[in-house]
Amino acid sequence: MWARCLHSPTRSQCRWYSGQGPPQVFNREVKQMQKAAAAMSADTREYDYLRDEVALRTSERLLDVTRDFPLALDLGANTGHMLRSLQDGRGGIQELVMTDDTPEALYRDDGMQADSYVPNVCRRVVDDEHIAEAFEQDSFDLVLSAMSLGWANDLPGCMMQARHVLKPDGLFVAAIMGGKTLSELRSAFVVAEQERDGGVSPHIAPMVDVRSAGDLLGRSGFTLPAVDSDEIVVMYDDAWQLMHHLRAMGASSCIMGSRDHVPLDTMIATAAIYDSMFRTPHGIPATFQVIYMTGWVPHDSQPKPMERGTGDVSMTDLAQHLGKDVDFFLEDDANSPAAGTAK
């Protein structure tokens, strides 16, 4: 059943993805160790809440699409968060290939498909940055990814490879953490390190914003791009509990060049500053911004934009009719990715 997924394209077919190689922002080996340790801990399932929520919100994008996707790829499946979100059969998925570069995470719940609405589930250990070497071109109807691609050193290359393994008119739906994620913790670290260490070092991974996500979809060759975001705010008792949960999720930082050890007094100062700046009657908030990206592989059946200059109404006239400032309206329109996920 999976034979068509096992053929690898030639090296010449993959060469154009990453060119001379992307800059190494993340230590991928460290990230694998973090994920493995999290998956093997005795209370690992207590910390699935954030990834499960993001996977559920990601799969909800399929409810707006009036077609089925028989063969789907879950890219960076981790412990199966996306599979758990498909319990109502959304997307009409008949076969789901789950991939991750950490076998301890990927096979943690390998018996769960017995209760799933997805009839056939296959797990394969594959690096997110090398999926075009594991699957042949035009293999899948759908590629899903939740909270995995944000750790890729070559994010544009990963998205291009996702397009490569998708069939014409195939759908790409992904969620990544946005730049506002853990803004409270970031602020506390900056103040604490300036006070205690006389400088600032990176602790939280660099992340994209909404505009960059839209650009990435276009650069990767997807049509009908749609980007939106929301924020998930989780309350914790204190900064120590937050950092413990991040480690237990396998979501600790793995930035190349960051210092290996933060002095205890700096950590204590960070927790105290976090508390003084953000404490509420319900605890301290931690913000997780989630950016959702949706795009289609080009196909002749898809609607095409009209040629420039063929419109009957100018944008200026439309802005004036709506009673908006012309410059503001045009700027807002230019920054908004085109919608159009429903088919």
pLDDT tens-digit profile of 145-178? 999 998 888 899 999 999 999 999 999 999 999 9
Residue 295 lies in a domain: yes
Distances (CA, A) of 72 to 84, 95, 102, 151, 278: 14, 6, 20, 22, 42
* Measured distance CA(155)–CA(63) in Å, rounded: 26
- Structure confidence at residue 45 (pLDDT): 95
CATH number for the domain harbouring residue 140: 3.40.50.150
For residue 325, being part of any structural domain is answered with no
pLDDT (tens digit per residue) in 187-206: 998 898 888 766 656 656 66
- Split into its structural domains, the chain has a count of 1
- Is 203 part of any domain? no
The number of beta carbons lying within 10 Å of the beta carbon of residue 190 is: 15
Contact yes or no for 204/253 (Cβ under 8 A):
yes
Question: Residue 19 domain-assigned?
Answer: yes
**Overall pTM > 0.75:** yes
Residue 26: what pLDDT?
81
Residue 327 in domain: no
Rg for the chain (alpha carbons), in Å? 22
Residue 295: closest CA among 240, 215, 238, 234: 215
Tell whether 222 is covered by a domain.
yes
Contact criterion met (CB below 8 Å) for 139 and 124:
no
Residues of the chain with pLDDT under 70: 1-22, 112-116, 197-206, 256-260, 305-306, 309, 315, 323-343
Q: What is the Cα–Cα distance from 50 to 276, expressed in whole angstroms?
A: 25
Domain contains 101: yes
- Tokens at residue 78, please? 């981790």
What one-character DSSP code corresponds to residue 147?
A: S
Q: Which domain holds residue 224?
A: 3-184+211-235+287-304
The β-bridge partners of 124 are 99
pLDDT of residue 312: 74
**Is residue 70 situated within a structural domain?**
yes
The token duo for 284 is 């301290």
If residue 287 lies in a helix (H) or strand (E), which one and from where to where? strand 284-296
Cα 226 from Cα 213, distance rounded (Å):
9
